[in-house]
Homo-oligomer: A and B are copies of this chain.
Amino acid sequence: MNKIYNPTAETWSEILKRPTKTIDDIEVTVKEIFKEVQKKGDEAVSKYTSIFDGIALDNNEVSQDEINEAIASISEELKEAIQLAKNNIYKFHSAQKTERITIETTEGVNCWQEKRPIQKIGLYIPGGTAPLFSTVLMLAVPAAIAGCNEIVLCSPPDKNGKINPAILYAANLCGVTKIIKVGGIQAIAGMTFGTETIPKVYKIFGPGNQFVTVAKQLATQFGVAIDMPAGPSELLVVADDTAVPAFVASDLLSQAEHGTDSQVILVSTSKTLIDAVENEIQTQIALLPRKAIAEKAIANSKLIYVENNTVALELINEYGPEHFIICTEDDDFYSDGIYNAGSVFIGNYTPESAGDYASGTNHTLPTNGYAKNYSGVNLDSFMKSMTFQKITEKGIQNIGKAIEVMAEAEGLQAHKNAVTLRLAQIELRK
């Protein structure tokens, strides 16, 4: 762990630097696979599933039988936990629904804004040892609330041609309309272009390794939208002597176990707290199954002492953490003043893992400083805002002159004509 005392503002950007990735090598591979899937469809998808997942599949769509089998294999305990999480996510995201906003901006000029669902969306759920069924909840629940017609889920098959049952269970529970056994670059390419079995979608959501990340970026060049750019997960905790060192350590470690490139930062106005957290980390880390991963992330972690809350807040806004935990005497100071963070966790009994699973907030959040300019996934991520307007004869008489003058000044005569003709016709009828 790197302890840093009272860093000057000039050194912040260096201290808060995130690891840079080189994606040039990957890009060539991703482009090639995209080209092949675009041209050959399922044939290419099968080929790459064979190569990357080591399994030849006759049929890549998950059947109802497989779903039933998965449902039967999940313990009641896990089913209840998933149901509780789903209910909370449903409640929080349902509350985000917005009504039509209507304004008569000038007499006779009625404008309104309405949100309508994106009709076809794709969810990518990685395979591997940690089956991220929680991410299925985080994406499929708001998609269903939004009213998306088609909710396609792609996840790679294991060596036996199966998808983890918890993923299938969650997908079935949350209204996914089609589940396909395909992973990696070929999954993203399939949802971008559409194949015989994979529907083309308008927006792709979900996490993934660096191949998937680059593939999602490439998809945007073919008209597909994505949830947000991805990077390693990160957590920043601000804590003072009112915090419980063991809790803070456990939160930092829950971030550290994600991956060796996870970003873990503690900012504190108390040197005592920093030392106590450091000790607690040593104790707790020894018992973790993912100790090797956590140790690497912790080795790169930063424990930063600053003199007061004002400096701390400034430094945190400069960093823009994905997850931000506040355990201080003056929590409101931080929660009111934070501008750049994905999700904020307040108080000693609000661990990050609550938001990762079951409190109801979304865990798909901007990393890598993107909290400065991107929202985390929320109900609106599955909708588009559209505007409507209806102008009466009186209305066009009220604003027509202004339109004519502005169109003329911009040199757009036909724009002006469209108003002039209408005004003239109204005059004629008088």
Contacts and interface: CB of A to CB of B under 8 A. Distances in A.
Interface of A: 77-78, 80-82, 84-85, 87-88, 91-92, 95-96, 98, 101, 103, 105-106, 109, 111, 113, 116-119, 129-134, 166, 202-203, 217, 220-221, 223-225, 229, 244, 246-247, 250-251, 253-254, 256-258, 284, 288-290, 294, 335, 338-362, 366, 368-376, 378, 380, 383-393, 395-396, 399, 401-403, 405-407, 409-419, 421-422, 425
A406 B82 contact: yes
A85 to B, nearest CB: 6
Given A98-B98, A111-B361, A346-B389, A374 B384 contact: yes
Contact of A410 (B134, B202, B418): B134
Contacts of A356: 403, 407, 415
A237 B166 CA distance: 48
A402 B101 contact: no
A426 to B, nearest CB: 8
Contacts of A368: 223
Contact of A378 (B113, B225, B247, B415): B113
A389 B166 contact: no
Contact of A81 (B87, B405, B425): B405
Nearest to A317: B119
A125 B81 CA distance: 52
Which 5 pairs between the two chains have the least Cβ-Cβ distance? A105-B360, A88-B105, A375-B385, A81-B402, A351-B418
A384 B411 contact: no
B91 A103 contact: yes
Contacts of A366: 384
A325 to B, nearest CB: 10
Given A358-B399, A385-B380, A387-B376, A92 B80 contact: no
A111 B360 contact: yes
B294 A339 contact: no
Nearest to A365: B387
A410 B257 contact: no
B359 A399 contact: yes
B412 A130 contact: yes
A389 B223 contact: no
A80 B95 CA distance: 41
